[in-house]
Amino acid sequence: MVFEQELDLLIRSSYPIIYVPTPEEERAEQLIADVADYGSPPRELHIWDFVNGFAGGVGRGNPFQALEEIEKAREDVPAIFVMRDFHRFLDDVQIARKVRNLARHLSSTRKTMIILAPSFRVPPDLAEEITVLDLNPPTYDEIDAELDAVLERVPVRLSHGGRDALVKACQGLMMSRIRLGLARAVASYGRLDERAIPLMLEEKKQRIRRTEVLEFWPATETVDDIGGLDILKLWLEQRAAAFTAEARDYGLPYPKGILLVGIQGTGKSLSAKATASLWQLPLLRLDVGRLMGGLVGESEAKTREMIRIAEAMAPCVLFIDELDKGFAGLGSSFVGDSGTSARVFATILTWMEEKQSPVFIAATANSVEALPPEVLRKGRFDEIFFIDLPSERERREIFEVHLGKVRPNRLREFDVDQLAFQSEGFNGAEIEQAIFEAMHFAFNERREFTTEDILRAMSAIVPLSKTAQERIVRLQEWAQSGRCRPASSDAAQSGLIGQLFGDAGLPR
């Protein structure tokens, strides 16, 4: 309803030319027709396109003549003139001059011209004459109403929670795509049920593929794939229902996001991906490098596009991997590339703090000292978690997870207690690599791999806890200073590097 209210206000305020950039031409025209019908007084509605012209063929194939028809229309009769795809003609010098003249004329009449186009393209010399009005994707209530219309015609087997999940899966899609997706579900299964949810998520995936700034990632990992990190997993589980209608009725705000700081290979990216799976939300991945363009203003435009797409897909999880590399060394005074990186950085930070849409940001960082202080300020994230090297208990869980994936029927044959004890100082990625290496040993000898093979593989691996000892100790000291929350409750996790190798001689 926001679009109709804003359009009605602009028309009543005598804004002469309004530009509505949207691929949903049919839906936009229906909403404009509603504004015309229910206006006070009602307004005549005229639609022009290059092929058909106005009613009766007036102005067919002649955009200049179409503008003259608008100019000649009675000034005392309230009217709306919808011009389909008229953005294609605005670069013509004659059309541009006529549009400027027409804007001056319409401002003193009861007539309004609306340019309807799938994309936004306005020459700089017409920017002051044209007002842009965005048509957002259908709201939750609009999609719910569309579902009501579908349910009257097809067999349905949807629980209350299933219906809510289906509506959320449809959010971010155009109404035409929603209708096609629901029709596909009915055609595939003979009725509308929870199986329609992954089909609608696939429609979202197709839309993301057509963009260049975000990727749609399948949320295949679950919290069961994470060994240890009990505090983090409990925090996520407590917020699993935070995006439901019941949470809104209760007054809960949407969770903003988390920053996962820690040592490489300890499960930060895995935890971010498992969040989307646990909450049954689409997972979008942002590569900060893709935001940087070579043309003037391109980076800022890509950043705005990223925010628009993410909010259109909401509720969703936006995964920003290695945030420290994307914005390393930046700050509010950074001007190394004419200020482009700083402006992109500032836009994202402002959006993170002020956004009202249910976009949950799951960001990771390996080097906290490379992050600008603004990122760590309260309000950007709900929580900052530190993920340390796994304790012995957590290493046992990690071994069980990975061995359960490759040899689920032989898990009891492995001495996971011995493996956990002997792998002190290993991270999760190194444990997984040791298992794969052991499998190579055994495969070359045409036999099954054993505990001894894994121990042999571990003896050949130099863990990150040795090769990056000084950096890891500094990171642990930062975490122990109270600036973040531990992701695990194991006391053995705290200061593990110092226990392994001692602090003597380490740089501070």
Looking at residue 446, the DSSP 8-state letter turns out to be T
Mean pLDDT across 365-377: 79
Q: What is the CATH number of the domain that holds 445?
A: 1.10.8.60
Query: How many other C-beta atoms are found inside a 10 Å radius of the C-beta of residue 294?
Result: 7
Q: Is the pLDDT of residue 179 over 70?
A: yes
Looking at residue 287, the DSSP 8-state letter turns out to be -
Domain stops at, among 151, 180, 211: 211
CA atoms of 259 and 262, how far apart (whole Å): 10
Helix (H, G, I), strand (E, B) or coil at 267: coil
Residue 227 lies in a domain: no
Q: Is the pLDDT of residue 464 over 60?
A: yes
CB 67 within 8 A of CB 102: yes
Q: Is the pLDDT of residue 93 over 60?
A: yes
Q: Is the pLDDT of residue 154 over 50?
A: yes
Q: Is residue 364 domain-shared with residue 455, that is, in the same domain?
A: no
Q: In the beta sheet, which residues pair with residue 361?
A: 257, 318
Q: Is the pLDDT of residue 333 over 60?
A: no
Residue 474 lies in a domain: no
52 closest CA partner among 40, 61, 39: 61
Which pLDDT tens digit goes with each residue over 34-92?
999 987 789 999 999 999 999 989 999 999 999 999 999 998 899 999 999 999 999 99
Q: Which DSSP string do the residues of 398-427 spell out, in sequence order? A: HHHHHHHHH-TTSGGGS-HHHHHHHTTT--
Q: What is the CATH number of the domain that holds 163?
A: 1.10.8
Residue 104 lies in a domain: yes
Which pLDDT tens digit goes with each residue over 15-38?
999 999 888 899 999 999 999 998
Which pLDDT tens digit goes with each residue over 234-278?
999 999 888 887 888 899 889 999 999 988 888 888 888 889 888
Residue 78 lies in a domain: yes
Q: Which residue has the higher pLDDT, 180 or 379?
A: 180
Rg of the chain, C-alpha, whole Å: 29
Q: Which residue has the higher pLDDT, 236 or 139?
A: 236
Residue 152 lies in a domain: yes
Residue 218 lies in a domain: no
Residue 225 lies in a domain: no
The tokens describing 5, both together, are 């209210």
Q: Is residue 321 domain-shared with residue 354, that is, in the same domain?
A: yes
Q: In the beta sheet, which residues pair with residue 156?
A: 192
Strand segments, DSSP code E, in 273-380 are 283-286, 316-320, 359-365
Give the model's pLDDT for residue 334: 43
Domain stops at, among 152, 176, 211: 211
Q: Is the pLDDT of residue 338 over 80?
A: no
Q: Is residue 251 domain-shared with residue 365, that is, in the same domain?
A: yes
Q: Is residue 332 domain-shared with residue 238, that is, in the same domain?
A: yes
Give the model's pLDDT for residue 325: 77
Looking at residue 483, the DSSP 8-state letter turns out to be I
The tokens describing 415, both together, are 């001495």
Q: Is residue 151 domain-shared with residue 119, that is, in the same domain?
A: no
CB 379 within 8 A of CB 273: no
Q: Is residue 84 domain-shared with residue 151, that is, in the same domain?
A: no
CB 229 within 8 A of CB 430: no
Q: Is the pLDDT of residue 298 over 80?
A: no
Q: Is residue 282 domain-shared with residue 344, that is, in the same domain?
A: yes
User: Domain range for residue 457?
Assistant: 392-426+428-462
Which pLDDT tens digit goes with each residue over 202-219?
887 777 776 677 888 777
State the residue for tokens 């045409």: 446
Q: Is residue 471 very low, low, confident or very high in pLDDT (cuts 50, 70, 90)? A: confident
Domain stops at, among 132, 165, 187: 132
Looking at residue 255, the DSSP 8-state letter turns out to be P
Q: What is the CATH number of the domain that holds 299?
A: 3.40.50.300
Mean pLDDT across 317-326: 84
Q: Is residue 379 domain-shared with residue 400, that is, in the same domain?
A: no
Q: Is residue 187 domain-shared with residue 329, that is, in the same domain?
A: no
The total domain count for the chain is 4
Q: Which residues contact 81 (CB under 8 A, 6 or more apart)?
A: 46, 47, 48, 70, 73, 111, 112, 113, 114
Task: Specify the amino acid at residue 12.
Answer: R
Residue 483 lies in a domain: no
Q: Is residue 185 domain-shared with residue 101, that is, in the same domain?
A: no
Give me the percent of the chain exceeding a pLDDT of 90: 41
Q: Is residue 91 domain-shared with residue 127, that is, in the same domain?
A: yes
449 closest CA partner among 457, 439, 461: 439
Q: Is residue 97 very low, low, confident or very high in pLDDT (cuts 50, 70, 90)? A: very high
Q: Is residue 182 domain-shared with residue 311, that is, in the same domain?
A: no
Note the helical H segments in 190-339: 196-209, 230-238, 245-250, 268-279, 298-313, 323-326
Say how many residues make up the chain.
Answer: 508
